[in-house]
């Protein structure tokens, strides 16, 4: 039973925190628009990437590179160079979403291991098998929109390894094709590398409460006793048929600790922790909890139980200090 623990590395301290606390794999991005977490101050240049890969390898941890945004024609050379640089660095796999980039990588470096990013938005086994047949994809990260029964059906009908999100940000969009931020800011998260660019975010205290806006668009208004999360359009409250609520997605974190035995039974290859934009402390604490939980389930899945301590620790790190099983067991409104 493999069930690798795949943890985020937004910078070198976060990478070391993941490795030191039991990650089987870490994933990182270059410091440009080739990855979907292109925040200022995050990600790796050539030197820090070399340091991080060396640190992980010396401790038996694999390193994956996320090249998971979609190249623009005029800048194709940036993404192609990123593939070349990744090969030179010696990463264990690339996480890709774009078909053209997959073709370039598979033809130029036929021995390079390729993973299908969640940004590829493959929600059925036919799509995954297409990527496998044409580009040699060996693992696919499933979007966070499938029920557990749907996930199991995918696993049964593909030779490709399946990776599931286990903890962190929840997304119910058609990942890789989301245009909400494009609508508000003129910059696509699938090409610019961030859902809500910091330059477009504004907070304002008003007589009605604390308001969050994205390029002038009102996303939410918080009362004095409410926790305010980082504003993204899909997690705003909107008026729909005279009711104001989280019409698309609630500001809460995915937490699937309770589903680890099911994942083992189904043959899931890896659990992914979201959060390259989060702090090294977040990475350290989440990795430690998930390492303990996976090890406990592997020892004896029949008697596995989520401990209150694990839930308390993750609760403090959840968005809005709330968590959910997401689409795996979510009744849709």
Full DSSP string of 5-64:
EEEE-SSHHHHHHHHHTT-SEEEE-BSSTTSS---TT-SB-HHHHHHHHHHHHHTT-EEE
Separation of alpha carbons 19 and 188, rounded Å: 32
The predicted model gives 147-173 an average pLDDT of 91
More confident residue, 127 or 147: 127
The residue ranking higher by pLDDT, 286 or 239, is: 286
pLDDT at 291: 98
Residue 312 pLDDT: 92
Q: Among residues of the chain, what percentage have pLDDT more than 90?
A: 67
Give the DSSP letter of residue 276: T
Place of tokens 């308001």: 211
For tokens 């005029």, name the residue: 74
| Count of CA atoms in the C-beta half-sphere (13 A) of 95 | 28
| pLDDT value, residue 260 | 97
More reliable by pLDDT, 41 or 284 = 284
Rg (CA), the chain: 19
**Is the pLDDT reported for residue 62 higher than 80?**
yes
Structure tokens at 209: 């409460």
Q: Phi and psi (nearest 5°) for 273?
A: -100, 125
- The CATH class of the 4-172+252-328 domain is alpha beta
Pick the residue with more confidence: 21 or 174? 21
pLDDT at 1: 52
Does the pLDDT value for residue 317 go beyond 60? Answer: yes
Report domain extents, the chain.
4-172+252-328, 186-245
pLDDT score at 251: 75
**pLDDT per position as a tens digit, 74-99:** 999 999 999 999 999 999 999 999 99
Indicate the pLDDT class of residue 333, thresholds 50, 70 and 90: very low
Measure the CA angle with vertex 165, ends 54 and 119; round to 5°.
85
Work out the average pLDDT over 52-60.
98
Determine the pLDDT at residue 173.
Answer: 66
């Amino acid at each position: 039973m493999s069930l690798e623990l795949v943890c985020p590395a937004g910078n070198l301290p976060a990478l070391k925190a993941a490795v030191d606390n039991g990650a089987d794999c870490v994933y990182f991005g270059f410091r440009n628009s080739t990855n979907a977490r292109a925040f200022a101050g995050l990600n790796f240049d050539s030197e820090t990437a070399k340091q991080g890969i060396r640190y992980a390898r010396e401790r038996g941890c694999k390193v994956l590179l996320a090249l998971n945004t979609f190249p623009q024609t005029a800048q194709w050379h940036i993404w192609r160079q990123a593939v070349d640089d990744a090969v030179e660095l010696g990463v264990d796999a690339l996480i890709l979403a774009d078909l053209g980039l997959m073709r370039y990588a598979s033809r130029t470096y036929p021995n390079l291991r390729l993973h299908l990013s969640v940004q590829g938005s493959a929600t059925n086994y036919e799509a995954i098998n297409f990527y496998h047949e044409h580009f040699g994809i060996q693992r696919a990260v499933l979007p966070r929109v499938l029920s557990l029964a749907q996930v199991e059906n995918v696993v049964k009908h593909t030779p490709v390894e399946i990776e599931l999100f286990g903890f962190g940000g929840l997304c119910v969009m058609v990942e890789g094709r989301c245009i909400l931020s494009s609508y508000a800011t003129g910059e696509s998260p699938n090409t610019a590398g961030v859902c809500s660019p910091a330059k477009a975010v504004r907070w304002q205290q008003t007589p009605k409460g604390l308001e969050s806006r994205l390029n002038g668009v009102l996303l939410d208004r918080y009362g004095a006793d409410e926790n305010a999360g980082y504003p993204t359009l899909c997690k705003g409250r909107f008026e729909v048929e005279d009711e104001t609520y989280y019409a698309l997605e609630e500001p809460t974190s995915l937490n699937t600790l309770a589903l680890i035995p099911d994942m083992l039974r189904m043959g899931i290859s890896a659990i992914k922790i979201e959060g390259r934009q989060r702090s090294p402390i977040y990475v350290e604490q989440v990795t430690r909890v998930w390492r303990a939980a996976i090890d406990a389930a592997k020892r004896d899945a029949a008697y596995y139980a989520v401990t209150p301590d694990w839930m308390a620790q993750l609760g403090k790190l959840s968005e809005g200090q709330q968590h959910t099983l997401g689409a795996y067991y979510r009744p849709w409104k």
